[in-house]
């Protein structure tokens, strides 16, 4: 048992989750694989979306995986950083838009 | 960026035995990852055997004007191993009599061999179907004496296959050295100017892409699409096909993997991406590789590891196609590089 919560070596064991629940584990990986195929969006575009979301959900495994995936697809570091900013902007916007709620409440409670 | 070969720096990894010890030991010896031999035995492909010989790949010397970080040849300006005219004559004798339909000249920078032009002229006369020269592009701009190479290639209907790691300056120069991108673009424009790589042109110009780091190449067709779009939009450059080639863990790339602590992850990635369907078409099943001094190998990678063919015939002077076709191919863990994903060869994907 590792003495830390995250171990980079655990990423390559991800597939093993099917061992304890084969059917739904396989369904997840089938779904996952299908999602990232070429479609109305290119696999390249989806890789950048995944990288942005990886940062927003703060998943270190996903950040490793989609940085590498981006490199494999020839995505540049400038494109990757812009994707991260897109995720960060939505995340900070999501915080800030609650400021309107604060303002509403403030105004309601104030004479 | 390195400026000297491992050999010139007298690095331990320049020794073949050291590299083979690494490839056969560690995570493979302790059973964490399976040996390549065991993986191909699962599909009845061990021992790996050649099919019909199609490609004769001749390495005319390890000298190069560049010192690329990933180079499996450990090539560079300080390498003095150059094929002599005498060995070239032995090669020509074989080219005239071989059943192979493709002649593939590589290096180093093959153009730096002082007998290169003579050899191309003589080999072109042999009437082989596809005559490839692997050019690093920058050589065409390295010195005035190379400026007319595009016309020379055109005259002899040479199929030019050129390295181009990315369509951006930063990534290209990081892997291959400062200024390489601009010189490569200029060389590609000059090849286009004489007709190479244009749509419907019979003057074939293909590009080789290999990753600038410890990761595998992505989908070849998608990369080709991205390269074409960027090179046409930014520089008006045309080419025919892009070959996505996996970096094999030998020589300078192995040195990089170990120094950057990426070796184990990279080997995991190669083994995870093992594709049994790629095994049947790996390059060594239809290729013979000839070194600058005339020795025969299953592929250019085995040549760099000093693993001569397992046959009574080991030298171009004694070349015998029937005997060679009867050999077992020598394998080690670097072979996972050719069976990962869609497979990898000097002609790109194989599966």
Residues of chain B with Cβ-Cβ distance to A76 below 8 Å are 168, 170-171
A26 in B contact zone (CB under 8 Å) = no
Answer yes or no: CATH 1.10.510.10 is held by domain A17-109.
Answer: no
- Say if the Cβ atoms of B226 and A74 lie within 8 Å: yes
ipTM for the complex? 0.78
A16 in B contact zone (CB under 8 Å) = no
- pLDDT, position A1: 63
DSSP B344: -
Query: Is the pLDDT score of B351 beyond 90?
Result: no
Residues of chain B with Cβ-Cβ distance to A70 below 8 Å are none
Residue of B nearest to A9 (CA): B265
A12 in B contact zone (CB under 8 Å) = yes
Question: What ranges do the domains of chain A cover?
Answer: 17-109
- pLDDT, position B200: 95
- What lies within 8 Å, CB to CB, of B209 at 6+ separation is A74, B164, B165, B166, B217, B223, B227, B242, B243, B244, B245
B22 burial via Cβ count (<10 Å: 0-12, 13-18, 19+):
buried
CA distance B203 to B157: 7
Residue-wise pLDDT for B258-296, tens only, equals: 999 999 999 999 999 999 999 999 999 999 999 999 999
CA of A94 vs chain B CAs: smallest distance (Å): 34
CA distance A65 to B125: 51
Query: Is the pLDDT score of B1 beyond 60?
Result: no
Residue of B nearest to A11 (CA): B265
Query: Is the pLDDT score of B3 beyond 80?
Result: no
CA distance B58 to B290: 5
Query: Is the pLDDT score of B348 beyond 90?
Result: no
3-state secondary structure of B131: strand
- Say if the Cβ atoms of B218 and A12 lie within 8 Å: no
| CA dihedral (B267, B270, B273, B278) positive or negative | negative
- Say if the Cβ atoms of B168 and A68 lie within 8 Å: no
Residues of chain A with Cβ-Cβ distance to B219 below 8 Å are 43, 73
CA distance A66 to A80: 9
CA distance B97 to B321: 9
- Say if the Cβ atoms of A73 and B222 lie within 8 Å: yes
Which of B167, B171, B222 is opposite residue A43, by nearest beta carbon? B222
CA distance B346 to B158: 16
Closest by CA position to A29, among listed A12, A15, A13 = A15
Residue-wise pLDDT for A26-84, tens only, equals: 999 999 999 999 999 999 999 999 999 999 999 999 999 999 999 999 999 999 999 99
Interface of B with A (CB under 8 A): 166-168, 170-171, 209, 211, 213, 215-219, 222-223, 226-227, 268, 272
Q: Spelled out in words, what is the top-level CATH class assigned to the domain B12-338?
A: alpha beta
A10 in B contact zone (CB under 8 Å) = no
């Amino acid at each position: 048992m590792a003495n830390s919560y995250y171990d980079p070596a655990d990423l390559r064991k991800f597939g093993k989750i099917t061992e304890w629940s084969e059917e739904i584990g396989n369904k997840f990986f089938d779904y996952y694989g299908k999602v990232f195929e070429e479609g109305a969006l290119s696999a390249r575009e989806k890789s950048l979306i995944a990288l942005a979301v990886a940062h927003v959900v703060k998943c270190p495994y996903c950040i490793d995986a989609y940085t590498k995936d981006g490199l494999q697809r020839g995505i540049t570091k400038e494109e990757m950083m812009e994707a991260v900013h897109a995720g960060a902007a939505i995340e900070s916007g999501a915080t800030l838009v609650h400021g309107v709620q604060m303002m509403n409440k403030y105004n309601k409670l104030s004479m | 960026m390195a400026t000297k070969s491992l050999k010139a720096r007298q690095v331990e990894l320049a020794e073949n035995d050291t590299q083979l010890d690494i490839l056969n030991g560690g995570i493979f010896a302790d059973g964490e990852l399976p040996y390549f031999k065991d993986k191909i035995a699962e599909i009845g492909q061990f021992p790996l055997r050649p099919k019909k010989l199609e490609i004769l790949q001749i390495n005319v010397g390890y000298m190069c004007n560049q010192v690329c970080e990933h180079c499996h040849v450990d090539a560079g300006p300080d390498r003095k191993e150059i094929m002599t005219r005498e060995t070239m004559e032995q090669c020509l004798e074989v080219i005239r009599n071989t059943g192979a339909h493709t002649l593939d000249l590589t290096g180093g920078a093959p153009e730096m061999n002082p007998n290169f032009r003579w050899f191309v002229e003589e080999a072109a006369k042999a009437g082989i179907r596809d005559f490839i020269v692997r050019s690093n592009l920058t050589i065409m701009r390295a010195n005035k004496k190379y400026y007319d190479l595009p016309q020379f290639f055109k005259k002899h209907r040479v199929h030019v296959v050129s390295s181009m790691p990315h369509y951006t300056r930063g990534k290209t120069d990081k892997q291959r050295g400062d200024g390489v991108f601009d010189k490569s673009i200029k060389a590609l424009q000059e090849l286009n100017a004489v007709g190479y790589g244009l749509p419907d042109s019979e003057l074939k110009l293909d590009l080789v892409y290999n990753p600038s780091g410890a990761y595998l190449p992505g989908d070849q067709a998608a990369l080709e699409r991205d390269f074409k779009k960027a090179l046409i939009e930014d520089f008006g450059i045309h080419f025919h096909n892009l070959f996505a080639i996996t970096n094999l863990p030998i020589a300078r790339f192995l040195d990089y993997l170990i120094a950057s602590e990426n070796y184990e992850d990279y080997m995991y990635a190669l083994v995870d991406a093992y594709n049994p369907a790629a095994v049947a078409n790996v390059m060594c099943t239809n290729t013979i590789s000839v070194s600058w001094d005339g020795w025969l190998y299953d592929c250019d990678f085995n040549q760099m590891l000093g693993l001569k063919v397992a046959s009574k015939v080991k030298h171009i002077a004694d070349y015998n196609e029937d005997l060679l076709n009867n050999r077992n191919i020598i394998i080690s863990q670097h072979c996972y590089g050719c069976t990962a994903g869609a497979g990898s060869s000097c002609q790109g994907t194989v599966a």
